[in-house]
Amino acid sequence: MNVHKRFGAEGVQGLGGGMVSAASQQNLQKAEDLCRKGRPRDAVPFLMLALEDENNLDADIQMAFLSPNKPAVVEVLENAEVKGRRLLKRRLGPNTFSDDGPHVGNFGMIVETRPYMRVLQALVRMYFENGKYTKSTETMIEMMRLCPADNMNQRSWLGSMLLRVGRHADALYFAQVWIDADEGDGTPPLRGGTAFQAPHRELCSEAREKALSDPYFSPAVLLHTAALAAFHLWGACPQAAQYLRLAARANPHILVKILGRRSAPDEMNMLPRGINGPEEAQDYRWLTQDLWTEARVWGWITSDPVINRELLKICSRPDCTAQETRPTQFKQCAACHQVTYCAQTCQKSDWKRHRAECQEHQRIKKTIKNFDQGKPNTTNVPIISTDFPVGGPPVAFDGTKFL
């Protein structure tokens, strides 16, 4: 979401560390706010004024996403990328994008580079939506080269795209280096995990398996990538099975929906999200569900008795011991999606107990939503601002198209 530019370094110094004029930035902000209110037509005049400053790459992004024509969006963004490289070379020097220069690998610390990185992030999504999977993959690899710390969370997408283009060994290596990264000193993997080498075949230790099973800290999307990549490389081997089971524990929302034969999402989830929640699961399924329902893969995951056991829910009412006989048989609480009930009678009976945690979960999501929309935090839930957006593209309105 574009609102993240209003906090952190750019909130203080201005877009691109002050590269964009105040007038252009104000016009962009007006346009973004109008888009959030579902008024994209009214936003166009302000965007045209914002674009008078060639340094305002975010105005290019916003204008691109107002187009109903996806190929046209790609063309606008590709032109913005070319312009952005030119602007950065002018600002930071001719070796800005050279491996042996002072900037590659440090883009996360250079405020001037952030609008350009947002252009790349937008291109990642639009290449994917236009079926240009190789270009989407290559763009993310370039982003990881420029910013190995991955401030924009492209690692939640890159593994999936490597799988989609058939680079299974690279997908497994990439997932493994990031899965193992939190055991180190905090230094990100070389080139953000894209200095590809042969993946290893070692199983996780018992202690490591326990740590990776924690849904509050586990990189669930990468575990799914590792499981699928290992299966494509070596079949139903112990490593593939271990990654699959860890993935199911870290974010069961993904495989539950796949095994429950739910239709693949036709768009990203633009709602506030927590770690390893249903929103992240929707995004992952949007990217990869067809890869999991291929006949050979489907036969593997449906024949694993441990996986099926892991995903079968027990009714959340403490006194009820009913368990599903198939994934997604029970219904979730519609408000929080965190608890599951075998029947409406159990849900009603458990409401007195569940109410407080349900309302707290909704309060946290409201806080995140307010932050995304640039509204004051009125819920007293602490939130830490990052300079880069997390997850999807920096589009400032949810699904509205300018016609």
Per-residue burial over 166-177, b = 16 or more CB atoms within 10 Å of its CB, e = otherwise: ebbbbbbbbbbb
- Predicted TM-score (pTM) of the model is 0.82
Helix runs in 155-215, H state only: 155-164, 168-179, 206-212
- Name the residue with tokens 């290596």: 173
pLDDT in tens, 289-344: 999 999 999 999 988 877 777 778 889 999 998 988 877 788 889 888 788 899 99
Residues 348, 355 contacting (CB under 8 angstroms): no
Average pLDDT, the chain: 86
Give Dmax (Cα) for the chain: 68
pLDDT in tens, 112-122: 999 999 999 99
**What's the residue count for the chain?**
403
Among the ranges given (8-22, 135-149, 194-208), the one the predictor scored with the smallest mean pLDDT:
8-22
pLDDT in tens, 150-204: 989 999 999 999 999 999 999 999 999 999 887 667 789 999 999 999 999 999 9
Taking each helix axis from N to C terminus, what angle separates 155-164 and 133-146, rounded to the nearest 10 degrees?
Answer: 140
- Give the Cα separation of 393 and 140 in Å (integer): 13
